Amino acid sequence: MRFASHVLLLQLATVSAVVAVSAGVFAVLGVQQLQREAESSALAIARTVAEDVEVRDSVAEFSEDPGTPTNAAVAAGPLQPLAEAVRTRTGALFVVITDDHGIRLAHPDESRLGERVSTSFEDAVAGRETVAWETGTLGESARAKVPVYAPGVGSRVPVGEVSVGFAAASVFTELPSLLGGIGVTAVVALAIGVVASVLIRRRLTRLTIGLQPEELSALVQDQAAVLDGVGEGVLAITPAGEVSVCNERAARMLGLAHPIGSPVRELGLPAPLALSLESATGDTAVQDVVVTGGRVVYVDVRRVERGGRDLGTVAVLRDRTDLDALARRLDAVATMTNALRAQRHEFANRVHVVAGLIDADRVQDARGYLADVVARGPLKFPVEHADRIQEPYLQALLGAKGIEAAERGVLLTLGAETLVTGAVAEPEDVATVLGNLVDNAISAAVDGDEPRWVEVELLDDGEDLFLTVGDSGRGVANPAVLFERGDDRQPAPADAVHGHGFGLPLCRDIARRRGGDVWLVDAGGAAGSGGGAVLCARLPGTMRAESAHPPIERGRP
């Protein structure tokens, strides 16, 4: 039997037991109430009769006679018709009047007049009122016995008693209707309980999605194992827009503290993530890349449904900051490696040319050739003033970027302030930051007017490297939000050139982790001096204070 059916049967059994007990209690209370009403009525009638002056006088006369009155004498007295009149009007079973010896002076059966009563009369003669259920000559009845006092105002001398009784059959005439009402009420209450139990069962089935307790227990264990055992962040949102699940990894990636139960709109999530959570459907997953807190996070959002019921939205967050940065650095290293390989090949060719010219005794031509090589650099990179930098890593990287720029119609130039005397110690970080800044500048120059150019200036100071990259583009449209996409988890409008993608946030993150920074010097365009944008970077600990080129040993070419 399924769990919901178990619960339904337990509820029905509980409701039935409660209704049965309640009906029984009400029935007992109803019977007791009828008994008390009969006893109260008998006592009230007996008191009224006992206070009647004629009754007191007549009973006192019989009590003063030392003999036992005869049936005829009693029947001729005033008490018998008076008692019968009261009995007839009140519907009582009997109204009996006795003297202080218990001799009947009034009784429904006249043949018993002058006889002693069959039940105790001592309490009444002693001045005490009693109410009880007793069985006498007329059967079981609810009877009240009240003393009759001697004539005179304030007299408290008992001279007899008045006993009034109601038959059990007359007392319980209303019992069938009472029990019927209790029965109908019990049936209605039971029907309400059954309907409520069925509705509760249906709701329980919906809430548990038809799962059994052992399945729910296993599900909770699996959920805890998955949420705590994977490296991804998991964020679940209910259909009402509240956070139902958020493991520690997701909270750390999104910078959230105690998000469970909070409305998702109040969490300050990055705009792309919030939009993905709202637009997710059950058919397709929504995938996006979000920069939050200086981290690159891949987001996979899905709408979850089961049995046609919307269970909310689940977002899986994967931190790819290190992987993305590593991929960029590997690309930069691969670019530099290819450039160095080309440089070595070209350098060998040029050495052969120089050697051939010297062998042909054309020294002047060799000198002119070498001067041209010095002016344009060791490779024919389309980089103006390439001879201003001799550091091989930077030379190779800028040479490769110069080729890319030339293919897009942009001239890459080394500025007049360029001076690098050391060697690159951290080529990956330098290549990532410099490569991103140059790529953005090339895109800006392509978007600008002729002539299109990018100028780079490099300056080292001990172990620090300073970069300045300017372009001929239209400038930064909104400088205030250029870096916000990565810092404050705020939606930055896509700039036409600078800052689309995640290059700038990553560059700033790399620089700040080293104790440096990346900043915008001049926004250019309408917001600046009328030219393109200028960005600077400081990368501490990325240089070695040594000569970029070791001295050539004498005696060798």
Share of residues in the chain with pLDDT > 90 (%)? 10
Q: How confident is residue 44, by pLDDT bands cut at 50, 70 and 90?
A: very high
> Per-residue pLDDT averaged across 345-362, rounded?
79
> Would you state the pLDDT for residue 555?
36
> Would you state the pLDDT for residue 491?
36
- DSSP per residue, 515-527: T-EEEEEE--GGG
8 A C-beta contact, residue 442 and residue 454: yes
Q: How confident is residue 551, by pLDDT bands cut at 50, 70 and 90?
A: very low
For the stretch 531-542, pLDDT in tens is: 688 999 999 999
In whole angstroms, give the CA distance from residue 126 to residue 146: 10
In whole angstroms, give the CA distance from residue 224 to residue 229: 8
For the stretch 185-240, pLDDT in tens is: 888 888 888 888 888 878 877 777 777 777 777 777 776 666 666 667 888 888 88
> Would you state the pLDDT for residue 460?
92
Which of helix, strand or coil describes residue 217? helix
- Phi then psi dihedrals of residue 432, to 5 deg: -65, -50
> Per-residue pLDDT averaged across 143-147, rounded?
90
In whole angstroms, give the CA distance from residue 52 to residue 59: 11
Averaged confidence pLDDT in the chain = 79
Which of helix, strand or coil describes residue 513? helix
Token reading at 68: 């036992």
CA angle 433, 437, 438 (to 5 degrees): 115
Q: How confident is residue 101, by pLDDT bands cut at 50, 70 and 90?
A: confident
CA 414 distance to own-chain centroid: 57
> Would you state the pLDDT for residue 536?
94
> What is the number of other CB atoms lying within 10 angstroms of the CB of residue 456?
25
> Would you state the pLDDT for residue 378?
56
> Would you state the pLDDT for residue 311?
79
Residue 543 predicted with pLDDT over 80: yes
Beta bridge partners of 233: 317
> Would you state the pLDDT for residue 226?
67
pTM of the model: 0.45
CA angle 319, 323, 329 (to 5 degrees): 145
Between 424 and 340, whose confidence is greater? Answer: 424
For the stretch 227-286, pLDDT in tens is: 666 667 888 888 888 888 887 777 877 778 888 888 877 777 777 777 777 777 666 666
> Would you state the pLDDT for residue 481?
65
> Would you state the pLDDT for residue 418?
92
In whole angstroms, give the CA distance from residue 72 to residue 394: 148
> Per-residue pLDDT averaged across 114-126, rounded?
84
For the stretch 445-491, pLDDT in tens is: 888 888 899 999 999 999 999 999 999 888 887 776 676 543 333 33
> Would you state the pLDDT for residue 488?
33
- Phi then psi dihedrals of residue 346, to 5 deg: -70, -40
- DSSP per residue, 28-77: HHHHHHHHHHHHHHHHHHHHHHHH-HHHHHHHHHHHHSSSPPPHHHHHHS
In whole angstroms, give the CA distance from residue 318 to residue 163: 96
8 A C-beta contact, residue 516 and residue 442: no
> Would you state the pLDDT for residue 293?
63
> Would you state the pLDDT for residue 465?
94
For the stretch 379-437, pLDDT in tens is: 566 788 878 888 888 888 888 888 888 888 999 999 999 999 999 998 888 888 898 89
For the stretch 490-531, pLDDT in tens is: 333 444 444 445 678 778 878 888 899 999 988 887 544 456
